[in-house]
Amino acid sequence: MSHTTDSRDSTAPQDYYSSLDDEGSLVEKFKNIDDKTQFYTAMRRLADPLTQNFVLDFGNEEAWCASDLGTNELELLLSKPRDRCFGTRWINIWAPEEQKESIRAITRYYGVSERLQGMMCTEPVHPEPETTPTTLPTKRTPQSPHVVPSFQHEVDDAENALKHLAVESDDYRKSASASFKNLTFAQVTNQIWHFSSVDHGPRYTCIGYNTLFVIPTLSQPNGKDLPDGKRLWTWLIQCDDGTIISIQENPFPGRKGVPITEAKPVLDIVRRNIRFIFAGVSRQHFAMSESESLITIRVRHFSDLGPDQANIKQEDGPSLLFYYIFDDWVSSYGLIAKREHKYGVALEKLRSQMLDRPVVDLVNELHWLGRRLAVLKRLYQSYELIMRRLLQRQRMLRDEARSSHPAAIQYGATFGDMEFVDMRQSSVVSNSGYHNPNEKSVGVQLSSTAVARFERLVDRINLYCLSEIENCLNEKESLTFLNFNLIALKDSQAVEKLTRITILLAKATILFLPVSLMSAYFSTELVGVKNGYTKTQYWVSFTVIFIASILLLTVFGYASDTVEGSEGFLATDNMGITFSRLFDRLWGRKEMRILMVGLDAAGKTTILYKLKLGEIVTTIPTIGFNVETVEYKNIQFTVWDVGGQDKIRPLWRHYFQNTQGIIFVVDSNDRDRVVEAREELQRMLNEDELRDALLLVFANKQDLPNAMSPAEITQQLGLQSLTRRAWFIQSTCATTGDGLYEGLEWLADALRKTNRD
């Protein structure tokens, strides 16, 4: 539990800082941010790119802050316990590669392992070097990333000293490619965005994680397979004396003189959460509007702000600060949680392009979009893993506090698979043969208010982030299927159009062949033929033969099912109507577009080809769609059979346009999924494009012994509630064909009735 270790009476903050430093530098730097002038000065320093760190001490009555402290000044702060008026100390460090000595001094005081210290001080991954002259190190950067460190600097670190000495060996240099010499912790976090770290010690709890910041005014591309934005690694440490240490990666590693037009937008975003929390500590910051109240964070007791703020105890400050630094909700909201996030917009744009002009190149764009979404999904899963391990540790610590005989608690690990770590730790315990009952568990206990907030954050990440990413991934899969289906449909329509044109040309040739023969006959030089016929006789013969040819071609077209339909094969500008339409009117021939859907394995494709071919065909699960024409009582049913797998169901809506009737196929023997079938049916019927469509339900597989009756299926699907839609349920057996044509009979009668109305 967070606490101060000073047992003396509370003193004035100036006296406390004076007691730490005889020279008075700390007294000069620490300012009261409850004062309006000092508060706005501190906020400006937080936005300054040159600010390297700050220390904020606060309690119920006081809040004092200093920035840009050196290593000696930080050691002075740690040399004596804090005064009682300060329940929480927040040490924030930016650009850690420039403050390695300060980080080592702080972490060494709290017993952080040397391995973890080394990772915190790792040089960041620098951008690709440009062809520019090598510049000398400035005061801001104690060591240039392009200059080999001196041996004197490496003496303090034996591993690094040996490493640089070994580099001089040619043999070592030749084998470097086969080792991990060139692999640094910064490269790991830069390559594996979902990498995370959870470590516990006797005096601290430490977590590390990547955060992705989206800069609205600047483009931050990271390649095709990574989301756009600025990725930064963060270390967050809670200590047992109420100290919180936050270390954020430098957004401009190895760069000097970054233009203010580039630095300011980036720093405004990456330091936004820090500023919100910092401002919430001061009495000068109050939520002046409803929108600002969403980002107002309180980690300090304010008795004059109402009962909610009065409930914050001074000892809750460190735990709440630890939570709010981790929960950068504003960044998550802009990245994926809000409804119009850029990935949803990109998917909708691709969908519009597919419907307008489906091409294979769109599948490539969907592939890379899916890769970026997968990276985001793993990133948020890493947050979930961190919180799960934190909450698990808190349960252990609370159980130990309640028990007089604490159980053996295993040490946490910095990285690695959780199951592997548990296996390794359990083997260590078993090999030891005994456990010391006096051994104290590692980790720092959070307050109950912070634990409750972490539990809530787990739910929010699952509900608003991971579920939204999963929906986008499912929609991406659906759009991939849709694109291929639309390409296949487009090709099918092109082939059909080409076939119709070919038939039209063939019929035109056949149409004029008899009159050509007649004209040739009238022009022959045979005796009795030449000059034997008048002009009137020629045109009468021409008309009779032409009309007879048209009639014969029309009869042949209907007999062979090669009539061009609404376009007609003899339409002319002068006539204004085709002979095929004329025969359609005379014979009452109509067309109807039917969409046949249902859950997978319901028997849709078997029904389609039983109607089309009159026989049973061996089918496989439909991935895209099947389309066939079935004629029944002068009505041509164009039946679209669309797959029913859960990932394909979102595609159904793309086939709703111009649909006159729906055949919904239900597996009467599948009682476990009848509720799922009802949900899909109700969701489909709520679409505006299907408001006038007829509904025919095929209760299929009635030959099975445990099949539900049509009456039971009617009740399960809630068909009685469809008072404004014409519907009919028909018991069927796809393998025998029973009930199939009875259903088409109802569709035909309902269509005629609709046309009469």
pLDDT tens sequence across 321-379:
999 999 987 887 777 766 667 888 888 888 888 888 888 888 899 999 999 999 999 99
What confidence score (pLDDT) does residue 425 get?
A: 39
pLDDT one-digit tens code per residue, 233-292: 999 999 999 999 999 999 988 767 778 888 889 999 999 999 999 988 988 876 444 455
What confidence score (pLDDT) does residue 427 get?
A: 34
Buried b (16+ CB within 10 A) or exposed e, 103-140: bbebbebbebeeebbbbbbbbbbeeeeeeeeeeeeeee
8 A C-beta contact, residue 274 and residue 264: no
8 A C-beta contact, residue 322 and residue 316: no
Distance, in Å, from the CA atom of 380 to the CA atom of 415, rounded to the nearest integer, reads: 17
Give which of 115, 102, 103 is closest to 73, Cα–Cα: 102
Please report which confidence band the pLDDT of residue 306 belongs to, taking 50, 70 and 90 as the band edges.
low
Percent of the chain whose predicted confidence (pLDDT) is above 70: 76
Please report which confidence band the pLDDT of residue 530 belongs to, taking 50, 70 and 90 as the band edges.
low
Please report which confidence band the pLDDT of residue 485 belongs to, taking 50, 70 and 90 as the band edges.
confident
- Could you report how far apart the first and last alpha carbons of the chain are, in Å? 78
**The model's pTM:** 0.65
What confidence score (pLDDT) does residue 113 get?
A: 92
* pLDDT of 562 higher than 70: no
Instruction: Give the active site residues.
Output: 645
Please report which confidence band the pLDDT of residue 567 belongs to, taking 50, 70 and 90 as the band edges.
very low
What confidence score (pLDDT) does residue 332 get?
A: 79
Out of 452-461, 482-491, 671-680, least confident range? 482-491
Domain boundaries, the chain: 589-756
Distance, in Å, from the CA atom of 511 to the CA atom of 208, rounded to the nearest integer, reads: 82
Q: Which CATH superfamily is domain 589-756 in?
A: P-loop containing nucleotide triphosphate hydrolases (3.40.50.300)
- DSSP letter for 575, please: T
Indicate the helix (H) or strand (E) that contains 518. helix 467-522
Residue with tokens 């091409």: 359
pLDDT one-digit tens code per residue, 503-517: 888 878 887 888 788
8 A C-beta contact, residue 692 and residue 661: no
* pLDDT of 489 higher than 80: no
The reply, when asked if residue 603 is annotated as ligand binding, is yes
Give which of 472, 216, 228, 466 is closest to 344, Cα–Cα: 472
Distance, in Å, from the CA atom of 416 to the CA atom of 328, rounded to the nearest integer, reads: 25
Residue-by-residue DSSP string for 589-626: -EEEEEEEEESTTSSHHHHHHHHHHSS-------SSEE
What confidence score (pLDDT) does residue 728 get?
A: 96
Q: Can you tell me the mean pLDDT for 70-78?
A: 92
Please report which confidence band the pLDDT of residue 394 belongs to, taking 50, 70 and 90 as the band edges.
very high
8 A C-beta contact, residue 699 and residue 719: no
Give which of 459, 717, 704 is closest to 601, Cα–Cα: 704
The reply, when asked if residue 601 is annotated as ligand binding, is yes
Q: Can you tell me the mean pLDDT for 452-459?
A: 92
* pLDDT of 568 higher than 70: no
Q: Which two tokens stand for residue 236?
A: 């967050």
Interstrand relation of 243-248 and 230-239 (parallel, antiparallel or unpaired): antiparallel
pLDDT one-digit tens code per residue, 663-711: 999 999 999 999 999 999 999 999 999 999 999 999 999 999 999 999 9
8 A C-beta contact, residue 222 and residue 440: no
Distance, in Å, from the CA atom of 698 to the CA atom of 710, rounded to the nearest integer, reads: 9
The reply, when asked if residue 598 is annotated as ligand binding, is yes
Q: Regarding predicted confidence, which is higher, 101 or 11?
A: 101
Give which of 93, 135, 100, 359 is closest to 243, Cα–Cα: 93
Distance, in Å, from the CA atom of 726 to the CA atom of 685, rounded to the nearest integer, reads: 12
Strand partners, 738: 733
Distance, in Å, from the CA atom of 669 to the CA atom of 602, rounded to the nearest integer, reads: 9
The reply, when asked if residue 669 is annotated as ligand binding, is no
pLDDT one-digit tens code per residue, 185-212: 999 999 999 999 999 999 999 999 999 9
Give which of 238, 216, 236, 239 is closest to 228, Cα–Cα: 216
The reply, when asked if residue 599 is annotated as ligand binding, is yes
Strand partners, 244: 90, 238
Distance, in Å, from the CA atom of 400 to the CA atom of 395, rounded to the nearest integer, reads: 8
- Residue 411 neighbours by CB distance under 10 Å: 13
Q: Which two tokens stand for residue 485?
A: 């289906």
The reply, when asked if residue 629 is annotated as ligand binding, is no
Q: Can you tell me the mean pLDDT for 103-119?
A: 94
Strand partners, 209: 196, 234
Please report which confidence band the pLDDT of residue 621 belongs to, taking 50, 70 and 90 as the band edges.
low
The reply, when asked if residue 703 is annotated as ligand binding, is yes
What confidence score (pLDDT) does residue 439 get?
A: 62
The reply, when asked if residue 702 is annotated as ligand binding, is yes
What confidence score (pLDDT) does residue 572 get?
A: 37
8 A C-beta contact, residue 398 and residue 445: yes
Alpha carbon distances (Å) from 627 to 208, 354, 637, 692: 54, 20, 10, 22
Percent of the chain whose predicted confidence (pLDDT) is above 90: 38
Give which of 385, 394, 380, 412 is closest to 319, Cα–Cα: 394
Q: Which of 115-129, 162-176, 251-265, 693-707 has the highest mean pLDDT?
A: 693-707
Please report which confidence band the pLDDT of residue 216 belongs to, taking 50, 70 and 90 as the band edges.
confident
Please report which confidence band the pLDDT of residue 481 belongs to, taking 50, 70 and 90 as the band edges.
confident
Please report which confidence band the pLDDT of residue 1 belongs to, taking 50, 70 and 90 as the band edges.
very low
Strand partners, 90: 56, 244
* Residue 81 amino acid letter: P
Q: Which two tokens stand for residue 680?
A: 């899909």
The reply, when asked if residue 5 is annotated as ligand binding, is no
What confidence score (pLDDT) does residue 575 get?
A: 39
Sequence-distant (6+) residues with CB within 8 A of 201 are 110, 111, 112, 113, 442, 443
For the chain, what is the mean pLDDT? 79
8 A C-beta contact, residue 473 and residue 377: yes
Residue with tokens 């970054």: 258
Sequence-distant (6+) residues with CB within 8 A of 84 are 4, 6, 8, 9, 10, 59
Out of 229-243, 268-282, 547-561, 618-632, least confident range? 618-632
The reply, when asked if residue 87 is annotated as ligand binding, is no
Helix ranges, 614-739 (H): 674-685, 710-717
Q: Can you tell me the mean pLDDT for 565-580?
A: 40
8 A C-beta contact, residue 359 and residue 487: yes
Distance, in Å, from the CA atom of 307 to the CA atom of 725, rounded to the nearest integer, reads: 56
Cα 223 from chain centroid (whole Å)? 17
Alpha carbon distances (Å) from 272 to 212, 257, 426, 524: 13, 22, 42, 98
Q: Can you tell me the mean pLDDT for 389-407?
A: 80
* pLDDT of 616 higher than 70: no
Distance, in Å, from the CA atom of 382 to the CA atom of 386, rounded to the nearest integer, reads: 6
